[in-house]
Homo-oligomer: A and B are copies of this chain.
């Protein structure tokens, strides 16, 4: 039998806590009931909180605005919202000095191109012979899939430019029972059509954990990895990535994994969390 741990008791043992967003803090209706109270309590107890999320659909400021408390105000500052979009932004800044970057995603996702000092152009607005400096996969919404995916295939066959996938997720939960195909799946399909390898950001790759840990370490240079807990709802991204990075993990059952499936899933995948909690409200 799977042994459940109380999140409150567990959190007390760590100095820094990394949270996945969807399935842990939020669902398709927004921040889950009771979550902001838990975040407020953790902050008041002196914990340093980060959100580590595969998401390039909106800016950190827009993401942070969800976590506010009537009494304490902002609970997680934008600088502690570490998204895969942020890594994509750094990549674009380092690899592309100037010019136009074509993207697939909603207008709000263009933030990650513009904040790298580059011009963001929806792929649909690139002319037939145009050669943008790079192509960025940011979000599954904001473009027509048929024309967008076919245009992406033919662009990357025609010109050899950096192609970045700012969110590697395969799918995301839409509500209790439905999934949406995520931009990571769309990019994988195109990679396999063109037989090229794109640059991908997001858990389970450890780079976001390194980024968040470096932030936390800069605030407190006595911090070690054993002081940090990752809280996530998905074995193949949150738990695998944090295991690889070398920090403790708490799997919560408030998201993609239902309580009665968790034990089977852990045994089947071999991805073993340090702890399992029903949710962060326990």
Contact = CB atoms under 8 A, between A and B. Distances in A.
Nearest to A151: B178
A88 B251 CA distance: 22
A160 interface: yes
A193 B181 contact: yes
The oligomer's copy count stands at 4
A99 interface: no
Nearest to A207: B206
Contact of A193 (B161, B170, B196, B270): B170
Contacts of A94: 225-226, 246-247
A267 interface: yes
A158 B177 CA distance: 9
A188 interface: yes
A258 interface: no
Nearest to A200: B244
A157 B194 CA distance: 23
Interface stretch (A47-55, A59-67, A74-82, A142-150): A142-150
A266 interface: yes
A153 interface: yes
A186 B185 CA distance: 10
B157 A196 contact: no
A102 interface: no
A197 B270 contact: yes
A270 B207 contact: no
A123 interface: no
B179 A193 contact: yes
A192 interface: yes
A163 interface: yes
A210 interface: yes
Nearest to A160: B267
A4 interface: no
Contacts of A192: 170, 185, 188
A165 to B, nearest CB: 10
Contacts of A170: 192-193
Interface string A63-99: 0000000000000000000000000001100110000
A1 interface: no
Contact of A156 (B156, B177, B200, B270): B270
Interface in A127-145: 140, 144-145
Given A140-B146, A185-B189, 12 more contacts: A91-B243, A94-B247, A149-B181, A158-B177, A160-B266, A160-B267, A170-B192, A171-B193, A195-B269, A199-B244, A207-B210, A210-B210
14 contacts: A91-B243, A91-B244, A94-B246, A95-B243, A140-B146, A153-B179, A157-B179, A160-B266, A162-B243, A162-B272, A185-B192, A196-B269, A196-B270, A206-B207
